Amino acid sequence: MLTSCTNAIILTVNGDEHMLVVEPNELLINVLRNELGLTGSKYGCGTGQCGACTVLIDGEPALACVTLAVACDGKEIVTIEGIARPDGGLHPIQEEFLGENAVQCGFCTPGMILMAGDLLKRNPHPTEPEIRHHIKGNICRCTGYNGIVRAIQHAAARMAEPAAADGPDLVKEAR
Amino acid sequence: MKLESYVRPAGLEEALAVLAAPGPKALVFAGGTDLVPMMRKMRMNGTLLNGDSPRVILDLSKLDELCGIRKAGGMLEIGAATTMGVIAADPSVKKLVPVLAAAAASVGSPLVRNRATLGGNLVTASPSADTAPALLAAGAVVRLAGAEGGPRELPLSEFFVAYRKTALQPGEIVTHVLVPLAGRPVAGRFEKVGLRNADAISVVCAACEIELEGSTCRAARIGLGAVAAVPVRALAVEAALLGREITADVAAECARLVHEHISPIDDVRASAQYRGWVAEAVVARMITDTAREAGA
Amino acid sequence: MQDIEIKVNGRPMRTTVAVDETLVDVLRQRLGVVEVKNGCGQGDCGACTVLLDGEAVNSCLTLAVQADGRQVTTTRGLGTAEDPHPLQTAFIEHGAVQCGFCSSGMILSAASLLQQNAAPTRDEIREGISGNLCRCTGYTKIVDAIDEAAKAGSSEERSAR
């Protein structure tokens, strides 16, 4: 049995502030999915090996299945639900994933897209090996990765264009 | 509002009393295959799809009175809490109402069929409920019960009143589904078009039963799902078939009338136009195949 | 909240649950039974398959309160590393496991199938596991493994007679 000790925390998720009471051993992924209904982030291996639960915490990618919710008190979280444009349109990376059929079962997609966004923020012109290196903590069992790599390459090209001010930066979104 | 308690009544009477009791509303629960995902959403926003905020889970899945299949009063009587798996494998359903056996076998997957119930499939009143067109084709009747007054029976075609709305009054539940046995077995077909074999929500599902006299159509009933706000009978097609000798050409001609009864929509699974094409094609094929079986 | 007792692989386990908590969440989060996987959470993928009183069900579509007083069997209840079930052995020998996320549910669906139909055809095997998604193997090796376990099982039965 768990102890009855609970903690009140404040999480800002995709810009919305939530006051929550959580058990000390509750995982961020379960709070996001079960308490806030944000089921975009997936619960995969539960041991930090598959990347399906990837979210941004204060702008940095993190594995929500090995992160305690209490440890995120006062922090800003961005999930896949939070990266669309203000008008509800898809983020360029999302559009390119669709265009390249980089989505099959979809289980890895939210984590994969957040990692791609993180890469392009750090390195707007990545080489293919750099792309593969950056997403190597995110496992996909459907696509064979080629479509995913192409989608990220196309998104990089699009977002590097000066006119691409329409592509919201993932970190800016987190602020 | 949260679900706070769980009640497993010992009998139908107790179940109806719980539903009739004043105070917090009860959520009628059986297989849970639709309700459990909805309950997860309810945890977030406090209400179900229909706006209700029930507080009590009333689990009917183990009520003996609502489980099982028997012949009574010229009807095949199927308890509303009978699972799809039991119905699909039942020898008398397979022999006497094969359209229903086929429809039940097409629902979800073996895992889902071990829990999903016939009553649940009808009460959620989803336009794409797979057993609905089969039961419409079979001329089924539903028996409803509430704490007040005796049970009442209603043709299934009058049970679905609007999108996800049924004729159930507050405090009432579906207890049985009845299929008239006179003249059975009848030749029939059930067809489901989905995006995959298992766990598919129908793009179109349809069923028909045809009785022939010689080679002339004496009676036809056609049910369709996922092409209108509720499961519908294709009455114009049925009427056009009466008295005709059924050939593939006649079937195709009559099937064109299906559009009088359907108003499909675009959604993530298919476009309205595609649903219309599929409905017509499936109905034509079912009529031809069923008539061939009836004639043989 | 409600107190429940579930017999998991023969061992009684007690806990207190909210009435709307699903069996998969209670097994994994409260009882530590993590061989049951939480995939889609809505009955589409079969990763959460368990046997409830011997019947294969999606534990993500089952309320934990419904399992009160009942038996839950997981893949660990079928066999262990030291003493594996013939299906588990066949899955390993045929390379029917890659990432492993579906394996637990797949093996339980297969066990449930073989209980009802000791000598299934390959089509019947495919139908029997149609509620269990695998994104790695392409299914062929899984069907091979179940086919072989079925044949080994039925020949065992024959020799036992």
Nearest CA in chain C to B107: C131
pLDDT for the residue C160? 45
Residue B226 clears pLDDT 90, i.e. is over it: yes
Could you tell me if B165 and B212 lie in one domain?
Answer: no
**Structural domain that includes position B41:** 5-59
Could you tell me if B241 and B262 lie in one domain?
Answer: yes
Q: How confident is the model at residue A163 (pLDDT cuts 50, 70, 90)?
A: low
Could you tell me if B200 and B265 lie in one domain?
Answer: yes
Q: Please identify, among A64, A82, A100, the residue that sits at the C-terminal boundary of a domain.
A: A82
- Chain C contacts to B (CB-CB under 8 A): 2, 18-20, 22, 41-44, 46, 49, 55-58, 60-63, 65-66, 109, 112-113, 127-128, 130-132
Q: What is the Cα–Cα distance from A85 to C51, expressed in whole angstroms?
A: 44
Q: What is the Cα–Cα distance from B53 to C109, expressed in whole angstroms?
A: 35
The reply to whether A173 falls in a domain is no
Strands of the sheet with A76-78, listed across from one edge? A16-22, A7-13, A76-78, A54-57, A60-63
A49: CATH = 3.10.20.30
Could you tell me if A75 and A110 lie in one domain?
Answer: no
**Structural domain that includes position A117:** 92-167
Q: Among partner residues C16, C38, C135, which is closest to A142 by beta-carbon distance?
A: C135
Higher-pLDDT residue of B49, B36:
B36
Which residues are bridge partners to B167 per DSSP? Answer: none
Residue C73 is inside which H or E element, if any?
strand C71-73
What are the residue boundaries of the structural domains of chain C, listed by start? 2-77, 79-156
Could you tell me if A78 and A12 lie in one domain?
Answer: yes
Asked if B2 is an interface residue toward chain A (Cβ–Cβ < 8 A), one would say no
State the Cα angle at B248 between B244 and B250, rounded to 5°: 35
Q: List the structure tokens of B172.
A: 């009432």
- Amino acid code (one letter) for B135: L
Tens digit of pLDDT for each residue in B189-221? 999 999 988 999 999 999 999 999 988 999 999
Could you tell me if B208 and B164 lie in one domain?
Answer: no
Burial of A80 per CB tally in 10 Å (0-12, 13-18, 19+): buried
Which chains border A (3 or more CB–CB pairs < 8 Å)? B, C
Asked if B41 is an interface residue toward chain A (Cβ–Cβ < 8 A), one would say yes
Q: What is the DSSP string of A32-95?
A: IIIIS--TTS---SSSSSS-TTEEEETTEEEEGGGSBGGGGTT-EEE-GGG-S-TTSPPPHHHH
Q: Nearest CA of chain A to the CA of C123: how many Å?
A: 24
**Three-state secondary structure readout of chain B:** CCCCEEECCCCHHHHHHHHHCCCCCEEEECCCCCHHHHHHHHHHHCCCCCCCCCCEEEECCCCHHHCCEEEECCEEEEECCCEHHHHHHCHHHHHHCHHHHHHHHHCCCHHHHCCCEHHHHHHCCCCCCCHHHHHHHCCCEEEEECCCCCCEEEEHHHHEEECCEECCCCCCEEEEEEEECCCCCCEEEEEEECCCCCCCCCCEEEEEEEEEECCEEEEEEEEEECCCCCCEECHHHHHHHCCCECCHHHHHHHHHHHHHCCCCCCCCCCCHHHHHHHHHHHHHHHHHHHHHHHHC
Asked if B204 and B234 touch (Cβ cutoff 8 Å), the reply is no
Question: B283: closest CA among B156, B157, B186, B191?
Answer: B191
pLDDT for the residue A169? 59
Strands of the sheet with B56-59, listed across from one edge? B5-7, B56-59, B26-29
Could you tell me if B191 and B160 lie in one domain?
Answer: no
The count of other CB atoms within 10 Å of the CB of residue B234 is: 30
Buried/exposed code over C111-139 (b: 16+ C-beta within 10 A; e: otherwise)? bbbbeeeeebeeeebbbbbbbbbbbbbeb
pLDDT for the residue B296? 59
Could you tell me if A16 and A65 lie in one domain?
Answer: yes
Residue A98 clears pLDDT 70, i.e. is over it: yes
Nearest CA in chain C to A143: C135
Q: List the structure tokens of B114.
A: 């071990």
Q: How confident is the model at residue A1 (pLDDT cuts 50, 70, 90)?
A: very low
The reply to whether A1 falls in a domain is no
pLDDT for the residue C117? 96
Instruction: Please confirm whether the linkage preceding B170 is cis (ω < 30° from 0).
Output: no
Candidates A31, A45, A66: best to mutate against C (most CBs of C within 10 A) is A45
Q: What is the Cα–Cα distance from A123 to A118, expressed in whole angstroms?
A: 9
Burial of C54 per CB tally in 10 Å (0-12, 13-18, 19+): exposed
Could you tell me if A78 and A99 lie in one domain?
Answer: no
Domain count, chain A: 2
Candidates C4, C24, C44, C52: best to mutate against B (most CBs of B within 10 A) is C44
In the three-class reduction of DSSP (H, G, I as helix; E, B as strand; rest coil), residue C58 is classed as strand
CB within 8 Å of B54: residues ≥ 6 apart: B3, B24, B25, B26, B27, B48
Q: Among partner residues A45, A46, A141, which is closest to C136 by beta-carbon distance?
A: A141
Q: What is the Cα–Cα distance from B131 to B225, expressed in whole angstroms?
A: 9
The count of other CB atoms within 10 Å of the CB of residue C37 is: 24
Asked if B137 and B282 touch (Cβ cutoff 8 Å), the reply is no
Q: How confident is the model at residue B24 (pLDDT cuts 50, 70, 90)?
A: confident
Q: List the structure tokens of B116.
A: 């999903």
C144: left (phi over 0), alpha (psi -120 to 50) or beta: alpha
CB pairs under 8 A between A and C: 25
Could you tell me if A102 and A148 lie in one domain?
Answer: yes
pLDDT for the residue B43? 80
B229: CATH = 3.30.390.50
Question: C5: closest CA among C28, C26, C34?
Answer: C26
B46: CATH = 3.30.43
Q: Are strands B216-225 and C11-17 parallel, antiparallel or unpaired?
A: unpaired
Residue A172 clears pLDDT 60, i.e. is over it: no
Tokens 């003249």 belong to residue: B183
Q: What is the Cα–Cα distance from B29 to B187, expressed in whole angstroms?
A: 34
Q: What is the Cα–Cα distance from B45 to C142, expressed in whole angstroms?
A: 41
A147: CATH = 1.10.150.120
Tens digit of pLDDT for each residue in B101-147? 999 999 999 999 999 999 999 999 999 999 999 999 999 999 999 98
| Mean of the per-residue pLDDT values of chain C | 94
Asked if B197 is an interface residue toward chain A (Cβ–Cβ < 8 A), one would say no
Residue A171 clears pLDDT 50, i.e. is over it: no
Could you tell me if B248 and B275 lie in one domain?
Answer: yes
pLDDT for the residue B79? 98
The reply to whether A174 falls in a domain is no
Q: Does the beta-carbon distance from C136 to A43 stay under 8 Å?
A: no
Q: What is the Cα–Cα distance from C22 to B39, expressed in whole angstroms?
A: 10
Region B10-39 average pLDDT: 93
Q: How confident is the model at residue C161 (pLDDT cuts 50, 70, 90)?
A: very low
In angstroms, the Cα distances linking B5 to A62, B20, B262, B286, C16 are 37, 16, 41, 47, 13
Q: Count how many residues are written for chain B.
A: 296
How is domain C79-156 classified at the architecture level of CATH?
Answer: Orthogonal Bundle (1.10)
Could you tell me if A40 and A101 lie in one domain?
Answer: no
Could you tell me if B192 and B112 lie in one domain?
Answer: no
The count of other CB atoms within 10 Å of the CB of residue A119 is: 21
pLDDT for the residue B181? 97
Q: What is the Cα–Cα distance from C54 to C105, expressed in whole angstroms?
A: 14
Helix-, strand-, coil-residue percentages of chain C, each rounded to 5:
40, 15, 40
Q: Please identify, among A82, A117, A142, the residue that sits at the C-terminal boundary of a domain.
A: A82
Tens digit of pLDDT for each residue in C102-157? 999 999 999 999 999 999 999 999 999 999 999 999 999 999 999 999 999 866 65
Residue A96 clears pLDDT 60, i.e. is over it: yes
Q: Which CATH number fits domain C2-77: 3.40.50.620, 3.10.20.30, 3.30.1360.120, 3.90.1150.10?
A: 3.10.20.30
* % of chain C residues with pLDDT over 90: 93
Q: Please identify, among A33, A48, A82, the residue that sits at the C-terminal boundary of a domain.
A: A82
Could you tell me if B34 and B126 lie in one domain?
Answer: no
Which residues are bridge partners to C73 per DSSP? Answer: C51
Candidates C26, C52, C58, C72: best to mutate against B (most CBs of B within 10 A) is C58
Q: What is the Cα–Cα distance from B153 to B178, expressed in whole angstroms?
A: 9
Q: Please identify, among B21, B36, B59, the residue that sits at the C-terminal boundary of a domain.
A: B59
Could you tell me if A98 and A144 lie in one domain?
Answer: yes
For residue C61, the chain B residues in CB contact (below 8 A) are 31-33, 36-37, 112, 115
- Amino acid code (one letter) for B185: P
Could you tell me if B198 and B222 lie in one domain?
Answer: yes
Q: What is the Cα–Cα distance from B296 to B293, expressed in whole angstroms?
A: 5
Residue C58 clears pLDDT 60, i.e. is over it: yes
Distance of CA C79 to the CA centre of its chain: 11
pLDDT for the residue C24? 97
pLDDT for the residue C154? 65
Domain count, chain B: 3
* % of chain A residues with pLDDT over 90: 79
For residue A36, the chain B residues in CB contact (below 8 A) are 44
Residue C38 is inside which H or E element, if any?
none
Nearest CA in chain B to C65: B6
Tens digit of pLDDT for each residue in B2-20? 899 999 999 999 999 999 9
Nearest CA in chain B to A35: B44
Residue A168 clears pLDDT 60, i.e. is over it: no
Asked if C51 and C72 touch (Cβ cutoff 8 Å), the reply is yes
Q: What is the Cα–Cα distance from C66 to B8, expressed in whole angstroms?
A: 9
